[in-house]
Amino acid sequence: MATKIATKKAVEAMPKVIPPSSPFASLLRQSKFAAFDPTIRQTYGAPASHIHRGNYGLKRNINVRKKPEYITLKNYEEHAQYIEWSGAQGQVSFVKRVEEANVQPSLVANTPWYTGLGPVAVSSASGIDSEFCPGEGTGIGMSRKERNKAAALESPSPSAPPTLTLDNFSVKLGHRGRGEYGSRPSAQYAESKDGDAFTQPNILAMSPRVFNRYLEKLRELRPEFVAYLEKQIRLRRAQNARREGLPEPDPNAPIDIAELAAEGVNANLHMMFLGKNSEAQFHASAGDESSPSNSTSTHPNAPQPIRQQPHKYAGLMYSAPTLLESRYTSRPEPGIILQSSNPASDRYTNLDNPYVAAFAGMTAQLRKSQAGPSVAVVYDPTSETGIQLSDKPNAVSDENLHVPPSRSAASEKLMRMTTLELEAPPQVVGRHTSDKPLLATHVRPHVVVESAVDQNWRENPHAPGTMEYNGMMPRSGKFATGVRSSTLSMMNNNARMRGRLGANPIPTKGSLNNLGKGGKEAMTFDLLQTLVNPQNSASFFKTRPVWGQQKPSTSSPKAEEEKGEKEP
């Protein structure tokens, strides 16, 4: 009896809700933020010791003979208790190759992705706002009230400078007053336009029911949209008339609805209107005091909306390296020059059509001026097989398959990626997604040949700080000794002078004036080569006698003995 009473009291004393083991678990339950969209396919990898067993951390092992290193899952487990997966080795390798090139991507203008990004597309900032990156000073992710405060602090109202007279003139303080000597004037910021394109809802990720509700909201905005179109078109017509010096049109003249539709589509006014409407809804739900639709006070702990701002480069690369960082943190990799972009016109014209090169698993553009000398493409439309065969003597080809034995050495070059333009990112959500979304990605890489880069970009191709970098003579400007590069170029082209100095020893100090101007310059060139390149100093002083000495003998000991016997 006593045991039952003690058990009953213990059960009653137990808390109704088990407290969380840590504050993070409680915050995670109360939060409304999803780490990722469940409809986006996730890529999983495993160490080599687990891959051969098919263990990728899932509920069941994957039993196939050839197991890939990375797999992509649509769902963690289907309703019929099976796992649908596909290989993702090629997609992961593509992202790794882009990261290894270490080149900051750029966007192709006037594409759907470029237009849908809004102001992030034309901003130098990435638009990322987190605890570790609290904004980059662009106003992205701030409310209207915060943007107005930031603009007032960054760009104060300009004031007229004080009148300079003899009474208030001071050489020590300068013309701007105390504390302003040497300071730069405040930067002028352009006013934000009312028609800037902002982010919009992703209609591809909407379900049919959500999409129908979105269409109903757009139909309700039709009168407001027509008024917006008419206002913007009148402003544009007035600006064009003032620019061309024509009389301004009547502001009260009616405009046909067909003209509104045609001019609105050409100027993308519908995109601007949708972006403006979505921006107003975001600030209204975020509790913006300046929004008229949100005049009532909200709860201070109310959940804040999350801006649907996609990454600028769709997650292709999160770092932003400069051109200098890309140059010295990446190595040139081998690439193949496949063909000319327009081989038919190259036969009759001298147009600078770029080459098509294979680099890092992508087809890139290579300008002819940056391809270097002795370029031979792989594809040749004038040949019988369409492929340029190798010039190796021991090459054997199969005439039936029309496959060359090996590529020509002139078509293989060490290349670097200079720019990577993103045209269309992969579609990861929606009804038209595939198992391999990277196949729908459109990028435009541009490469240059490493040897041509050194010749075109900088005069010294060696790494800074090395002996080769310090010992190489500049190709332009003046030397430390005062000899101009034009003089050295003249001496390099004068083969007769170089041959005479190579056959005869350098004369003594007394007969230096007998050399003439060309001999002095040529000898100065040899001395400069020795000074700037210490590796040649030993060979130089072995073959060149010092002042007042005779030329050292280069004959063999046997010839010296025969010469001594002939002498009396």
- In whole angstroms, give the CA distance from residue 335 to residue 340: 15
- Please name the residue that has the structure tokens 């435009």: 444
Using CB atoms within 10 Å of the CB of residue 498, give its burial: 0 to 12 exposed, 13 to 18 middle, 19+ buried: middle
Instruction: Indicate whether 215 pLDDT > 90.
Output: yes
Domain final position from 312, 337, 360: 312
Q: Is the CB of residue 307 less than 8 Å from the CB of residue 200?
A: no
Identify whether residues 78 and 207 lie together within a single domain. no
Q: Which of 107-111, 338-342, 497-501 has the lowest mean pLDDT?
A: 497-501
3-state secondary structure 333-398: EEEEEEEECCHHHHCCCCCCCCEEEEECCEEEEECHHHCCCCCCCCECCCCCCCECCCCCCCCCCE
Identify whether residues 523 and 560 lie together within a single domain. yes
Identify whether residues 201 and 254 lie together within a single domain. yes
Identify whether residues 338 and 380 lie together within a single domain. yes
- In whole angstroms, give the CA distance from residue 244 to residue 497: 67
pLDDT in tens, 101-158: 999 999 998 888 887 777 778 776 655 544 444 444 444 445 455 555 555 544 445 5
Identify whether residues 291 and 371 lie together within a single domain. no
Q: 479, 521, 466: which is closest to 497 by C-alpha? A: 521
Task: Kindly report the length of the chain.
Answer: 568
In a domain, 416, yes or no: yes
Sign, Cα dihedral of 174, 176, 178, 182 = negative
Sign, Cα dihedral of 478, 480, 482, 487 = negative
pLDDT in tens, 431-442: 667 777 888 899
Q: What are phi and psi of 79, to 5 degrees?
A: -65, -30
Identify whether residues 446 and 413 lie together within a single domain. yes
Q: What is the mean pLDDT of residues 307-329?
A: 83
Domain final position from 427, 457, 487: 457
In a domain, 40, yes or no: yes
Residues 6+ apart with CB under 8 A from 567: none
In a domain, 184, yes or no: no
Residues 6+ apart with CB under 8 A from 559: none
Residue 236 parent element (H or E)? helix 222-244
Q: Quote the DSSP letter at residue 480.
A: T
pLDDT of residue 442: 92
Q: Is the CB of residue 388 less than 8 Å from the CB of residue 409?
A: no
Q: What is the mean pLDDT of residues 248-265?
A: 80
pLDDT in tens, 543-564: 444 333 444 454 555 555 555 5
Kindly state the tokens that stand for 533: 């390149």
Q: What angle do CA 252, 254, 255 make, to 5 degrees?
A: 125
Identify whether residues 120 and 240 lie together within a single domain. yes
pLDDT in tens, 271-290: 788 888 887 877 776 655 44
In a domain, 24, yes or no: no
Q: What are phi and psi of 363, to 5 degrees?
A: -90, 115
Burial 366-379 (b: 16+ CB within 10 A, else e): bbbebbbeebebbb
In a domain, 19, yes or no: no
pLDDT of residue 476: 53
**Whole-angstrom distance between the N-terminal and C-terminal Cα of the chain?**
142
Q: What are phi and psi of 441, to 5 degrees?
A: -80, 135
Q: What is the mean pLDDT of residues 418-435?
A: 83
**Helix, strand, coil in percent for the chain, rounding step 5:** 40, 10, 50
Q: What is the mean pLDDT of residues 374-400?
A: 59
- In whole angstroms, give the CA distance from residue 567 to residue 379: 71
- Please name the residue that has the structure tokens 């005069």: 459
Q: Give SS3 for 78.
A: coil
pTM: 0.56
Instruction: Indicate whether 100 pLDDT > 80.
Output: yes
As for how many domains the chain has, the answer is 4
Identify whether residues 229 and 347 lie together within a single domain. no
Domain final position from 312, 343, 360: 312
Parent domain of 530: 467-566
Pairing status of strand 70-73 against strand 442-449: unpaired
Q: Give SS3 for 38.
A: coil
How sure is the predictor about 496, in pLDDT bands with cuts at 50, 70 and 90? very low
Identify whether residues 441 and 476 lie together within a single domain. no
Kindly state the tokens that stand for 488: 């050295």
- In whole angstroms, give the CA distance from residue 193 to residue 276: 11
In a domain, 153, yes or no: no
Q: Is the CB of residue 324 less than 8 Å from the CB of residue 104?
A: no
Kindly state the tokens that stand for 337: 């020059």
Most confident among 189-198, 360-369, 371-380, 503-512 (mean pLDDT): 360-369
Identify whether residues 345 and 286 lie together within a single domain. no
- In whole angstroms, give the CA distance from residue 342 to residue 327: 30
Instruction: Indicate whether 244 pLDDT > 70.
Output: yes
Q: Give SS3 for 182.
A: coil
**Chain Cα centroid distance, residue 446:** 11
Kindly state the tokens that stand for 432: 């038209």
Q: Is the CB of residue 120 less than 8 Å from the CB of residue 113?
A: no
In a domain, 289, yes or no: yes
- In whole angstroms, give the CA distance from residue 3 to residue 1: 5
Q: Quote the DSSP letter at residue 80.
A: T
In a domain, 173, yes or no: no
Identify whether residues 117 and 254 lie together within a single domain. yes
pLDDT of residue 148: 57
pLDDT in tens, 34-71: 556 667 788 889 998 898 888 988 888 888 888 889 99
Identify whether residues 227 and 249 lie together within a single domain. yes
Number of neighbouring beta carbons within 10 Å of residue 154: 12
How sure is the predictor about 166, in pLDDT bands with cuts at 50, 70 and 90? low
Q: Is the CB of residue 84 less than 8 Å from the CB of residue 78?
A: yes
DSSP codes of every residue in 125-186: S----SSSS---SS-TT--HHHHHHHHHHHSPPP-PPPPP-TTT--TTT-SS-TT-TTPPPP
Q: 420, 364, 358: which is closest to 100 by C-alpha? A: 420
Kindly state the tokens that stand for 335: 């690439």
- In whole angstroms, give the CA distance from residue 249 to residue 258: 18
